[in-house]
Structure 1
Amino acid sequence: MPQLPPGLSHRFSALRLKAVEAHARRSTPEARQGFRRRALWSGGALGAVVLALGLFLLLFDWNLLRGPIGAFASARLGREVILAGDLDAQPWSLRPSATVNGLSIGDPGWAGEGKMVEIERLTIQMELLPLFRGRTILSRLELTRPVARLQRDAEGRATWDFSQPGEASDPVDLPAIRRFIIEGGQLEVIDEQRGLRFSGGVEASEVRGGDAGFALTGDGNLNGEVFRLRVNGGPLINVNPDEPYPFDADIRAGATRVTAKGALPEPFDLGRFGLDLTAEGPDLARLYGLTGLALPNTPPYRLSGRLVREGQIYRLDDLGGRLGDSDLSGSLRVDVTQARPFLSADLRSRRLDLDDLATLFGGAPSTGSGETASAAQEEMAQQLRAQQRLFPDATLDVHRIRSMDAELTYRADAIEAPNLPLRGARVSLTLEDGFLDAQEVVFSLPQGAFAGRISLDARPDVPITDLDMRLTRARLEQLLPAGEGGVAPLSGDLVGRVKLRGAGASVHRAFANAEGEALLVVPQGEIRAAFAELIGINVTRGLGLLLTDDQSRTPVRCAVAHFKGRQGVLRASAIVFDTGPVLGRGEGEIDLGRERIDFRLDGEPKEPRLIRLMAPVTVSGPMLAPQVGVEAAGAIAQGGLAVALGVVAAPLAALLPFLDPGLAEDAACGALISDARKAGAPAN
């Protein structure tokens, strides 16, 4: 054993000696008897304190705590909490309980002086032992004649929202409840933001038709339509907190119906559940009152999927069904952690019926035999046909656009469009703070594509639409209907661009105020010789070729149509059609507000003609049904070919970069500019 230093060794010996002496003194009978007396006195004193505390708690008037408890709850909730009736507690039990009579929770200041919640009697009983394992289990929760009056104003302020401004409210997360009883409950909801008024009854009974369960039933109206809600839950006796609690729901608002069947994995945490959902109705946009999401207008739909909630995140997985005559599949995700919900979606159609897209812009799908449309959409289609109009005038609800953010991708593998050779489509868009930006909008063709960008700025009082779309590497013979013999009268490449900006709360009003320009170019191609001759109105040759079904063709060296848009009217600054025998020139306008067109085209022959009628070809009337004719009155002033080429070539050189910087080098259109220079035209 190691030796201690002399000083420490001496002090250690002294302490050990004192301990031995103290033990000897306690070992005497007198010492042991004194120790027992002191222990008895201490135990008695402690027992007296416990007994006194028990008697105090048993005899204590709990009503004295109503004021302090109400003040504490009021401070925590930010609104007045009153305990008007008797307060009673039974603390001495492994299942302590408390009963409150006359409990009320007031509305926030902005909602007036009403009561959000009034409960005639509330009884809570808790299990103590699970608390030591970190679990809260209520063995009993009973509410007698509770009344909840919930309000949300047009600005989105809700009386049931206890969160801080700019933050999303937390979902209701009740602890596990083994016996849940609601007797004579009433629920009233007035939601000005979503146009909902509802009044219903709530019951959670231990015996109901031989079975226990939860029931919420009620009726009201949603945006002027009859609204009905039915929610039923499983038995409420001996609820196992470790087993899911099943429920089902049936919600109807007019022709819209939503049914669900699912479960709460942890009763009664409403922040987490999973359910199988089916929704059907005339228009997805009508789900705004139920979901708070600004969904687009659609044809009648039937969709189903698996809806899962995890706190502030909602997911709709395995989405499938139909919108109009188009199929739809994919997934959705909604994040409500911020003040504005954020929707992200990845959607796909194997086959898209093109006319279903009209509803996205407030229009109507086709309503013929075999087509799917709601009664309102059929009425709209009938009005548009009667007025010979293309652009719908349905007003955009900018408040809905501003109420959420989104990110969406969509693709269609195939498109059904009887009059257009569209093969597929894809769209990628974002919505943030009222600005909708479709960065990628692509419609693929057998050759080439019609693609670009479309945006909608809903932040101003009057929304602004920007459109910039390009037609690239398309073929005329695929876009034009075939004539006799199955051959299109015109063939060749077609490229173009349209760039417009318009203010208006509907598609029609945005186009009626549009500013911008549009350009179409046929850099090279062929035209049936008879039609080329008729541009110059050579009656003997042009009509002769048509009458004999002559299919001979002549080259199109270059064709250009350029328009400048102002206040909804696209006026032609250059219309040129240069073929082998004829140089055609045109003028006219497209009135997007009135939806009418008015053009005339005359031709200058490049070689002598025996008989030539000096009258232009006209195209005029509604955009949907223009009429082609000949302007018989008046004569066309003739000009030299060099002058005509100069009028064409100078603008052409300036316009082609707007469409495609490389197009000016094309052999055919480039030849037109070269010919103009040789003829003395001031082409740049």
Structure 2
Amino acid sequence: MRWIIRTILAILVLGLLAMGALLSIPAERIADVAADRLQRATERPVRITGGIRPTLVPYLGVRVEGLEIGNPDWVSDGPMLQAEALNVGVNWQALIAGRIQLDQASLDAPRLVLVRAADGRESWSFGGADASPAPASNGSEAAPAAQSSGGVLATLGFDAAVLRDATVLYRDLGAGTTTVVEALDLTLRLPEAGGAARAEASAIVNGSALTVDASTDGIGDLLAREVQPVRLALEWDGGTLSFDGRAGLDPAADGRFQLEARDLGPLMAALGQVAPTLPEGLGRDRIDVAGDVTLASEGSVHLRAGDIRLDDHRFTADLDLLPGAERPMLRGVIRGGDVDLSAMTAAGNAPGGGRSGATGGADSGWPRDRIDVSGLFAADMDLAVTLDALDLGLASLDGLDLRARLDRGRLVLDLRRIGAYGGALSGSVVVNGRGGLSTRADLAFRGVALGPLLAQLADYDRLEGRGDIALNVLAVGNDMDALMRSLDGGGSVTLGQGAILGFDLAGMIRNFDPSYRGEGQRTVYDSLTGSFTIAGGVLRNEDLVLAAPWGRVTGAGRTDIGAQTVEYRVIPGVLQGADGTGGFAVPILITGPWSDLSFRPDLAFIAEQELAEERARLEAAARERLAAEREELERRLRDQAGDALGVEIEEGQSREEIEDALEQRLREQAEEQLRRLLE
């Protein structure tokens, strides 16, 4: 508000000039002199189109009509100030005592145009030297010329300086921003020259209604760029902001800060920004911040002993906000208690609970609303976060200790010491908004309790046990439907001893109903293992095994996560031996959409199994017959070869032994024939 104070002070000087010659100079002459002196002081063209006339009641004063003060020639938006009228009044008692003391000065319906050039020049910085006093036309000296802001305030006090129904246009050509202030009512009170001052204002800024109440113990020193005690209260439709401490114009500040906001939209609009879309539980309905704040001269902001409330969640924080070339950097430590963010995942949590797909029926499929990731680019971040507990709807964590790093739209959560379902969770989660949305989760659960985990993740409370779960998945897409259809990765489950609650396997097979519960049943198992792969949003598992003293259950199939459908076969084997033989097994086929699964005996699979068993039996019998026939043929050949060569070939002899025997027999026969020829 420094430019408003400077403008008011310049106009106060104009009023003093006019009053100094009020009783002895004609109105037209007063107008000419006042305009000339103000023009010399500001180095700007000044016009008074309506003349100057005195007022006697309710105070001794002067009324200047049609005031206009020009802008530098590089500003194309019009004069710096246009006002219907300026009213300046002095205190009668002070005047009788021989001194001039302002009661009130006001501008009616002024229009202010303030421009900051790309090179840093400011249209409201007059830059001229103080004008020296000039004699009035009657030979007496006129009132003092305009002084600098600090100098005027050191010698001038007034009950109230008022702007009524003002309009302000502020352009920053370097930043390319425009701020429009309308219906501005401002009252500045300075009872003692250079001393305590108070400003009260209300206005509509960029379409948002604001009220401001600011005060300082030494306005003169503050405008002289010294640090002074300052109190500020800002209110808008949806919240309040206050500061109580010390501040200067460099800028620099140090004091107690408090923010209470139900709606940040009007405040952000007044600042020329778009309010971020915050999720429920993280400030959507309420943001309260209190703490000790330091604003350093280089532009960094530091919060210590911060008390932050986001909706119903409370945190303590020590934070630093540092300026950056592209975006600010937030770093520090945040500590909190129990945090419930389950509402963030409630819309897409239940099967079929999302928005209708393009080809699906009503209330089916994943939501296809585009996920806004623009908030990832608002600032960079490096935060250490500790929480007592965190409920994400799809998962519950306790003893949370993580580090969150956000760099140019890419958020990385390093999960360090985190408790989960009676065990521990470690790993990382990446959310990348660069060039669209992609996310990766690489998580490892160790020693988790299966019951609470499945109850929350799948609304299934039938299994007990502890073990390990590993998950590594990647998803790419700009909405939940695209993310689910692009899932890629895999994982595994390894559980130790546990129990199946309310489980009646025979009744389940008989009724083909997995929700069937027997009276007081509790069936133990020794282990449960399985692994899965995910490609194109389709999860495949081929090795699910549940081993128990009563038998074993195997499973294999696929789940299309994107389409929310299942095609899975479970084979409960009851009273089987350790080698999987004996007992009986009835395969159950689970198919259909998640919202309406179908369970039926897999008769085709049974037939295929029987056919495969018959084929195996026939193949075994055929192999047995072929082996017997081959053995018989080999026996006959041996006998024939033995008779022909006179060699006894015994069963079981190897080929080499037979060949050696035949070679020995041929050698003997050759020697016998040679002996006969020689005889």
Report the TM-score, using the length of structure 1 for normalisation. 0.56
What is the alpha-carbon distance in structure 2 between the residues aligned to residue 396 and residue 247 of structure 1? 35
Query: Which one-letter code corresponds to 1:102 in the other structure?
Result: I
User: For residue 458 of structure 1, what is the aligned residue in structure 2?
Assistant: 433
> Is the 2:303–2:319 Cα contact (8 Å) retained in structure 1?
yes
What is the alpha-carbon distance in structure 1 between the residues aligned to residue 343 and residue 416 of structure 2? 16
What is the alpha-carbon distance in structure 2 between the residues aligned to residue 465 and residue 219 of structure 1? 42
User: For residue 519 of structure 1, what is the aligned residue in structure 2?
Assistant: 491
User: For residue 295 of structure 2, what is the aligned residue in structure 1?
Assistant: 309
* CA positional deviation for 1:330: 1.5
What is the alpha-carbon distance in structure 1 between the residues aligned to residue 481 and residue 443 of structure 2? 19
List aligned pairs for 1:233-272, cutoff 5 A.
233-234=214-215, 241=222, 243-252=228-237, 256-266=238-248, 271-272=252-253
User: For residue 319 of structure 1, what is the aligned residue in structure 2?
Assistant: 306
Query: Which one-letter code corresponds to 1:555 in the other structure?
Result: D
Distance 1:618 1:365, change over 3 A: closer
User: For residue 372 of structure 1, what is the aligned residue in structure 2?
Assistant: none
User: For residue 114 of structure 1, what is the aligned residue in structure 2?
Assistant: 77
- Structure 2 gap ranges (5+): 1-32, 49-66, 87-101, 121-148, 614-679
What is the alpha-carbon distance in structure 1 between the residues aligned to residue 452 and residue 236 of structure 2? 48
User: For residue 424 of structure 1, what is the aligned residue in structure 2?
Assistant: 399
List aligned pairs for 1:278-289, cutoff 5 A.
278-281=259-262, 289=269
> Is the 2:113–2:168 Cα contact (8 Å) retained in structure 1?
yes
Specify which of 404, 413, 421 is matched with residue 438 of structure 1.
413
User: For residue 393 of structure 1, what is the aligned residue in structure 2?
Assistant: 369
What is the alpha-carbon distance in structure 1 between the residues aligned to residue 339 and residue 510 of structure 2? 46
Corresponding residue pairs, total? 481
- Structure 1 gap ranges (5+): 1-59, 71-81, 87-99, 124-138, 151-158, 165-173, 367-379, 642-684
> Is the 2:565–2:591 Cα contact (8 Å) retained in structure 1?
no
What is the alpha-carbon distance in structure 1 between the residues aligned to residue 501 and residue 600 of structure 2? 19
What is the alpha-carbon distance in structure 1 between the residues aligned to residue 500 and residue 451 of structure 2? 12
What is the alpha-carbon distance in structure 2 between the residues aligned to residue 626 and residue 193 of structure 1? 57
1:313-360 per-residue CA deviation (whole Å, 9 max, x = no partner) reads: 22333332533333222133322364422222422212222425549x
* CA positional deviation for 1:239: 5.3
List aligned pairs for 1:231-630, cutoff 5 A.
231-234=212-215, 241=222, 243-252=228-237, 256-266=238-248, 271-272=252-253, 274-281=255-262, 289=269, 296-299=278-281, 300-306=285-291, 307-311=293-297, 312-336=299-323, 338-355=325-342, 358=345, 387=363, 393=369, 395-398=371-374, 400-415=375-390, 422-440=397-415, 443-460=418-435, 462-481=436-455, 489-504=463-478, 506=479, 508-528=480-500, 539=510, 547=518, 549-556=520-527, 558-566=528-536, 569-580=537-548, 581-592=551-562, 594-603=563-572, 607=580, 612-613=585-586, 615-618=587-590, 620-622=592-594, 627=597, 629-630=599-600
What is the alpha-carbon distance in structure 1 between the residues aligned to residue 265 and residue 541 of structure 2? 41
* CA positional deviation for 1:570: 2.2
SS across alignment from 1:104: coil
Query: Percent identity over the alignment?
Result: 11
* CA positional deviation for 1:401: 3.1
1:388-428 per-residue CA deviation (whole Å, 9 max, x = no partner) reads: 66768353152x43342222222211346899663232332
> Is the 1:301–1:322 Cα contact (8 Å) retained in structure 2?
yes
Distance 1:428 1:402, change over 3 A: same
> Is the 2:243–2:256 Cα contact (8 Å) retained in structure 1?
yes
Specify which of 168, 186, 196 is matched with residue 167 of structure 2.
186
User: For residue 102 of structure 1, what is the aligned residue in structure 2?
Assistant: 69
Aligned Cα root-mean-square deviation (Å): 5.4
Query: Which one-letter code corresponds to 1:349 in the other structure?
Result: G
Which structure has the larger Rg?
2
User: For residue 13 of structure 2, what is the aligned residue in structure 1?
Assistant: none
Report the TM-score, using the length of structure 2 for normalisation. 0.56
Distance 1:65 1:257, change over 3 A: closer
Query: Which one-letter code corresponds to 1:272 in the other structure?
Result: A
Distance 1:512 1:281, change over 3 A: same
Distance 1:117 1:272, change over 3 A: farther
Query: Which one-letter code corresponds to 1:219 in the other structure?
Result: I
* CA positional deviation for 1:244: 1.7
Distance 1:290 1:303, change over 3 A: farther
Query: Which one-letter code corresponds to 1:579 in the other structure?
Result: A
SS across alignment from 2:474: strand
> Is the 2:412–2:431 Cα contact (8 Å) retained in structure 1?
yes
What is the alpha-carbon distance in structure 1 between the residues aligned to residue 373 and residue 277 of structure 2? 11
Correspondence 1:203 to 2:213: no
* CA positional deviation for 1:472: 2.8
Distance 1:438 1:417, change over 3 A: closer
What is the alpha-carbon distance in structure 1 between the residues aligned to residue 481 and residue 73 of structure 2? 47
* CA positional deviation for 1:445: 1.8
